[in-house]
Amino acid sequence: MDAVPGLCTQGGDREPSRSGFPPDLIELMKLVLNDVTALFPELKRTSTIKVEIASKILACAAKGERDPIAMKAAALLIVVQCTRYSHDSSPDRPAA
């Protein structure tokens, strides 16, 4: 089977992944997403947070990252950055 431009293939006779990522990397990204999401209390596991986590994991994978620990760390950092505004305790912020 010839490779289709823009699609990843893994192994000789496997179907290409329509996502552009090989199936084993997709499974790794799912595991990372589930692991990071599980770190949050259930009430904080919103679809918005999950999208932010997934987006960061995808961005890491697109840059060639394959280390699940590095993906988890990057995903957690983006969540901290996204939620920081609601927990801003900087000296410039007026007290309530």
- Please give the Cα distance from 59 to 77 (Å, whole number): 13
The DSSP element (H or E) to which 35 belongs, if any, is helix 23-38
- Please give the Cα distance from 17 to 40 (Å, whole number): 30
- Please give the Cα distance from 42 to 6 (Å, whole number): 38
Q: What per-residue confidence (pLDDT) applies to 59?
A: 95
Q: What per-residue confidence (pLDDT) applies to 21?
A: 92
Of 96, 46, 49, 40, which Cα lies nearest the Cα of 87? 96
Q: What per-residue confidence (pLDDT) applies to 16?
A: 44
pLDDT tens, position by position, for the chain (96 residues)?
A: 333 333 222 333 344 456 689 999 999 999 999 999 999 889 888 999 999 999 999 999 999 999 999 999 999 997 787 666 554 455 555 554
